[in-house]
Amino acid sequence: MGGGDRSGIALRGVIMESTSAQGQLFALVDVNNFYVSCERVFNPVLENRPVVVLSNNDGCAIARSNEVKTLGVKMGTPWFQMEALAKQHNIVALSSNYALYADMSNRVVSILRDYSPDVEVYSIDESFLGLDGLESLWPSFDVMGQSVRQRVRQWTGLPVCVGIGPSKTLAKLANHVAKKNSSFNGVCDLASMPLPEMDALMAGIEVGEVWGVGHRIQAHLHAVGIRTVRDLRDTPPPWLRSRFGVVMERTGSELRGISCLALEEVAPPKKEIVSSRSFGHLVHDLQSVGEAVAGHASSAAEKLRTQGGVCNAVLVFIQTNRFREQDPQYGGSIVIPLPNASADTRLLVRAALFGLKQVYRGGYAYKKAGVMLMAIGEARVAQGSLLTAHGADERSKRLMQVMDALNTRYGRNTVSVFSSSAPKPWAMRREKMSPCYTTRWSDLPVARAC
Amino acid sequence: MANVLPLPAHDAPLPLLQKASISAPLCRLPLLLHRISAGFPSPADEYAESALDLNTYLIRNKVSTFFFRVIGDSMTGANIHDGDLLVVDRSIEPKHGHIVLAVINNDYTVKRLYRHDGVIELHAENPAYPPIHFQEHDELQVWGVVIGAVSRFAV
């Protein structure tokens, strides 16, 4: 890295170089207003109406339709605070239906796997695609993006936006641009955008929109005069490093088009916790992969409890070694919804192993397995309910406290869970929940022949 | 002498099959590929090699296929009865003659699509129900194409 005297021209040189020389290219595909969009697929009444989806126990808004966003309702607004507004504007409030969202998420990921062999499921509604080596398949990646959009919409009913860029941070930014500016028609390819246009675009976006720049860092950046994405991109990385640390330096480099974050090398977003690792040697049998997955679920659950959270869905993924080209390749992932938000290792391990059984295929040599806890919310005191909450009651809380205390005192894995029993039929307890349209025979949507 | 025969091939051309990465609930029927002779037990029972999965018979594209429950009798002429389960594939482009799931007045309606000489109609398969006409500027929203119906009988 050069000194602090890099001119804008030189920076652009870096961008050009990295896109053409290294050829790294990523796409981020993100479902618009995911939870609300899932509900709309099966309930036409919700089309063009303001809709919010509420968190566990119908607490606060965790997903908003565009109509609700226009009304000024912020993410996380407690339901009781917007009830008056809801009455006035006929806002439909729904409880979160993770069985539905997980099924729809899995469908979208299946479609994306037909577009790229390298898919990193980043959250329940976002995936990164590696595009290296795929350029000959498409006249341009904009065309590919439109194809993804069209196919996901047609096959699942869900609207998505596609952002493309030479780094994951730029792909994420491109996605933001595609979402906010209707002129892009849902697809923004920053990698092929003329530089003056890119400069103007970046100068018009708040620095807080950059992946990894949270509220607090944003305030610090403002204090030193970095207000837009372009400001941040044009700040010399060594300076960023000295002032904000190595993560911000990396973000700066990524904005210049130098890819620092590989696929899978996930810096987990606040809403997800990832635990994964490559096996020391290739692993073949379900039993061994299962042990690893159970271990990952346990350590992720521990992290979850440390931050006082509960999660609503568990993703499990397995992957063969894609660098051993002589071996047959396979990668699979699935999201398993939980019956209720929980941080209980027993429930999370059970869900992860249940998922593993769905995606595991015999006859492959697996290199990597992992677990991601999704749709994380704050742990709340369990509220009175006729149905038993699974892994969310007082007993569970106390057990987990004892387990964590033992492991802290006597070392990791002094007490651990390995359960391979199938999950019990799970009961939901949410008042305004839509039916589980795609996962329960009794909840199928109705087709009228009358 | 009883033969268990393989099922005949589909008579309609199938659209591109998608990679099936998520298993729907399986319904396995073992298919015996050898003759079962009456009289003495076959020594080849372990030859039961493949299992038939009704999902693969009914579903071409798992990712885009959804199930609906039928209410009403307007499609009995097409052998779709009250209480049946409809298999709906969103990835198929609706054409004249297809049975489709359409959105009418915020409800999902199953009808046969009639599209000929600029006329678009939805036809019931029961004379008691008149067709639904669409004017030039009306919009017909087809949710998906019905590719099968499943009945269960009380036994």
Q: What is the reported pLDDT for B30?
A: 46
Instruction: Taking residues A157-168, report their average pLDDT.
Output: 97
The model carries a pTM of 0.73
More confident call, A379 vs A312: A312
A215-223 and A237-244 are packed helices; what angle lies between their axes, rounded to 10 degrees?
A: 120
Domains of chain B, by residue range, sit at: 28-58, 63-150
Q: What is the reported pLDDT for B42?
A: 53
Characterize A27-40 residue by residue with b for buried, 16 or more Cβ atoms within 10 angstroms of its Cβ, and e for exposed.
bbbbbbbbbbbbbb
A12-16, A269-273, A297-301, B109-113: range with lowest mean pLDDT:
A12-16
* CATH number belonging to domain A273-419: 3.30.1490.100
Q: What is the reported pLDDT for A57?
A: 66
Instruction: Taking residues A225-240, report their average pLDDT.
Output: 94
Residues near A362 by Cβ (< 8 Å), separated by ≥ 6? Answer: A284, A286
Task: Give the span between the Cα atoms of A295 and A418, in whole angstroms.
Answer: 8
pLDDT digits (tens, 9 = 90+) for A324-374: 888 888 988 999 998 888 889 989 999 999 999 999 999 899 988 999 998
What kind of fold does domain A8-24+166-255 have according to CATH?
DNA polymerase; domain 1 (1.10.150)
Record: contact B91-A449, CB cut-off 8 A: no
The CATH number fitting domain B63-150, selected from 3.40.50.620, 2.40.10.10, 3.30.160.340, 2.10.109.10: 2.10.109.10
Q: What is the reported pLDDT for B2?
A: 41
Which A residues in the span 350-389 are in contact with B, Cβ-Cβ below 8 Å?
Answer: 358-359
* Residue B82 contacts A where some CB pair is shorter than 8 Å: yes
Q: What is the reported pLDDT for B3?
A: 40
Name the nearest CA neighbour of B84 among B76, B92, B93: B76
Q: What is the reported pLDDT for B47?
A: 56
From the CA of A306, how many Å to the nearest CA of chain B?
33
The shortest CB-CB distance from A447 to any of B62, B63, B70 is to B70
Q: What is the reported pLDDT for A182?
A: 92
Q: What is the reported pLDDT for A403?
A: 84
pLDDT block averages, 10 residues each, chain B of length 155: 40 45 45 50 55 88 95 95 95 96 93 90 95 84 95 89
- The DSSP bridge pattern shows strands A92-95 and A51-54 to be parallel
A-B CB pairs within 8 A amount to 90
Q: What is A107-123 written as a DSSP string?
A: HHHHHHHTT-S-EEEEE
Q: What is the reported pLDDT for A16?
A: 39
pLDDT digits (tens, 9 = 90+) for A70-108: 998 988 888 888 888 988 999 999 988 988 999 999 999
Instruction: Taking residues A203-212, report their average pLDDT.
Output: 94
More confident call, A343 vs A9: A343
Record: contact B86-A445, CB cut-off 8 A: no
Contact A167, A257 (CB under 8 A): yes
Q: Where in chain A is the domain with CATH 1.10.150.20?
A: 8-24+166-255
Q: What percent of chain A has pLDDT over 70?
A: 87
DSSP class of residue A10?
H
Contact A92, A98 (CB under 8 A): no
pLDDT digits (tens, 9 = 90+) for A53-63: 988 667 789 99
Given the cut 0.90, state whether the ipTM is greater than it. no
User: Which pair of structure tokens corresponds to residue A254?
Assistant: 């990524």
Q: What is the reported pLDDT for A281?
A: 80
From the CA of B125, how many Å to the nearest CA of chain A?
9
Task: Give the span between the Cα atoms of B39 and A221, in whole angstroms.
Answer: 86
Q: Where in chain A is the domain with CATH 3.30.1490.100?
A: 273-419
What number of other Cβ atoms are within 10 A of residue B134's Cβ?
16
